[in-house]
Structure 1
Amino acid sequence: MPAGGKPTVRSRRFGRKMQQHRVGAGFDQAQAAAFIYGSRSKISRMEDGITTAKPAEVLLLLDRYGVGDETEREHLVWLAKNSGHRGWWLEHAAHLRPDYLDHIALEDDATYIREWQPVLFPGLLSTSGYAEAVITAGPNYVAPERVAHLVKAREGRQAKIEEGGATYTAILWESVITQPLVSVKVQREQLSWLLEVGKRQNVTVQVLPFTAGVLAGSTSAFSSFSFGPEPTVEAVALENMRGTSVLESPEDLAAYANAYDLLRSSALTPDASAKLIRRVLRTSEEDAS
């Protein structure tokens, strides 16, 4: 059961998947309940992410729903077992918003992460110095004691990428590279780190040039997540001044998957992006000497 009886990102994903399989098989909740000798409310609470089910119940339901794909079956059993697990970020939970905890949980489970950032460097790629500068200069006041926890949380998030646990692609608008919003020193450190992390096999960094025109301004920052062996978008996180919103409806997922494909096709290649970053970094260093 999710901790405290409250839905977690994992329990909601589990419930949504089970509901999709049930509906696809043509059963109502009462019929599904009969398969496991339970009540309709149990199926309802499971599909709402309030509770999960025992692995044996999950497998029995999937048998009756006609779900034979072993990868999908194993994934749903794993979600059922781990729906209440909130991970390493729990130590920072008192200092992080609930929506941010959901975002971290999505990243921690994901096999593919794609991100579009038109203003700032992504948290998954930022240095500690850049993270601190952005947090302290933001429009929302952050108490000094919270800043350290927020920076540590970003560092914890990056472990997923550093360990090769997910394939990560980031598209940045050219202004993120060329127009510093922090000190020149912090920006140079950030650009150097971006070049370094971009060499990893599981990381792709692309720059959307100014010549892309209105496309850059038509979509605010977002991240999309896939949780299986295929890069099918299964959740999207939108950033705003007050927090993060998670989208999960098929229509929303399709729209943002299409938006990302458009951004990626208009962006510079990874090699050309790295060349641009090196040129900007070199110019900045020459100006400082």
Structure 2
Amino acid sequence: MTSGSTMARRALGRELKRLREAKRIRQSEGGRIIGVSPQTIGRMEDGLPTKVSDLYINTLCDAYDATAEERRILLELAFEVRATHKAGGGWWRAYADQIREGFDHYMGLEDSARSLSAWRLTLIPGLLQTPEYRRAIAWTETPSAPTEEIEKRLEVLVRRQTRLNDPTFAVDVLLSEMTLRDQIGGVGVMAGQLLKLLEVSELPNVQVRVVPFGTGYLGSRTGSFVLLEFPKLPASGLLEPPVVYVEEYAGDLYLEREAEVKRYREAFAEISRVALDHDTSRQFILSVAKEYGA
């Protein structure tokens, strides 16, 4: 696993913003300092793809009165961003046409994370889906898509799931009973999907638990979400703050403010409290799989 450029860009942008605001310099003024628009400074500070040359970094460091250590860290982060970009970025870049707009950012976050905590009201998370289950979803979302395009999406799914084989990547998934009962693709597809859940839940770094109907839990109000936490960046030693990802039909939401993350962390803990334990969840999943003829 590599931290990739996503984490480095986020850290670089956060540090540049901190230094600029400490000097009470507006984004428009920052842009004039290096000859770019305020929007470009905003993209840089938001960790979005944009040019991060050493000339830009050094010039901004001069204007922001950065210390020698702050300058060193920023230059190392900028180098990491450029090196990863030169190498072609994450593996998913080769499937850009098959990844919906904006999801490549999430892929970078997931690929860099040390832990993932997910709550799902509907649909099994992508990391745990079978190709047949994913294919059924894809045909529902885009019924007119060519078969070869759908199969390319399945290649992304299979590549993405190799992260589960990394013992340092901790995955904790809470599933509403609805995700087991909603017959995506029919009973045969669901039987295979539930057997897949049982298979991956045997991995030492993966935990899958079920929240049965009638529990009266907070998760029905929060909606589905993913909490991602990250290791320190290797070059700078900076610790990336966690991110909450909320996937919505009309667009994705990324929450990074400490208070927002805290609310979702507490919500996950509350939902976890009413979930079945690991072994009982496996028995529950198996019983539903048998209903589907597994």
Q: By the TM > 0.5 criterion, same fold?
A: yes
C-alpha distance after superposition, 1:149-172 (max 9, x if no partner): 211111111111123352111110
**1:92 maps to what in 2?**
95
Q: In the alignment, is residue 13 of structure 1 matched against residue 10 of structure 2?
A: yes
Q: Which amino acid aligns with 1:268?
A: L
Any gaps of 5 or more consecutive residues in structure 1?
1-7, 31-37
Answer whether contact 2:9 2:81 (CA < 8 A) is retained: no
Partner of 1:226: 229
2:191 is matched with 188
Matched, 1:82 2:84: yes
Describe the shift of the 1:211–1:139 C-alpha distance in structure 2 as closer, same or farther (beyond 3 A). farther
Distance in 2 separating the partners of 1:15 and 1:212: 44
Aligned equivalent of 2:29: none
Deviation at 1:51, TM superposition (A): 3.5
Partner of 1:3: none
The AA in structure 1 aligned to 2:130 is T
Give the corresponding residue for 2:30.
none
Match for 1:245 among 230, 234, 253?
A: 253
The structure-2 alpha-carbon separation of the partners of 1:131 and 1:204, relative to structure 1 and needing over 3 Å to count, comes to same
Question: In structure 1, how many angstroms separate the alpha carbons of the residues matched to 2:18 and 2:169?
Answer: 26
What's the counterpart of residue 52 of structure 1?
Answer: 52
Q: Secondary structure at the match of 1:200?
A: coil
Provide TM-score, normalisation by structure 2.
0.74
1:105 aligns with 2:108: yes
Aligned to 1:167: 170
- Structure 1 CA distance for aligned equivalents of residues 286 and 17 of structure 2: 47
Which AA in structure 2 matches 1:47? E
Task: Name the CA distance, whole Å, in 1 between partners of 2:121 and 2:141.
Answer: 16
Residue type of the alignment partner of 2:153: L
Q: Distance in 2 between matches of 1:252 and 1:268?
A: 26
1:145 deviates by 3.1
Name the residue aligned to 2:272. 264
TM-score of the pair, normalised by structure 1: 0.75
- Matched pairs, number: 270
Q: Deviations over 1:10-69 (max 9, x none)?
A: 454123431475379x45569xxxxxxx85979946424434365xx79xx7x83978xx
Report the residue type matching 1:52 in the other structure.
V
SS at match of 2:134: helix
Check conservation: 1:224, 1:233, Cα contact below 8 A.
Answer: no
Number of the residue aligned with 2:214: 211
Structure 2 CA distance for partners of 1:146 and 1:165, relative to 1, 3 Å: farther
Tell me the SS of whatever aligns to 1:207: strand
- Equivalent residues in 2 for 1:66-77 (5 A)? none
Sequence identity percentage: 24
Distance across 1 between alignment mates of 2:196 and 2:277: 19
SS in 1 for 2:223: coil
2:155 to 152, 156, 159: 152
1:113/1:213 CA distance change after superposition, 3 Å: same
CA distance in 2, matches of 1:244, 1:203: 25
Alignment check: 8 A CA contact 1:115 1:222 kept:
yes
RMSD: 3.9
Residue 182 of structure 1 deviates from its aligned partner by 2.6
- 1:64 pairs, out of 50, 67, 73, with 67
Structure 2 match to 1:35: none
Indicate the SS of the match to 2:231: coil
- Give 5+ residue unaligned stretches, structure 2: 27-32, 233-238
Matched residue type, 1:223: V
Summarize the Cα distance change of 1:75–1:11 in structure 2 as closer, same or farther, 3 Å threshold. Answer: closer
Q: CA deviation at 1:214?
A: 5.0
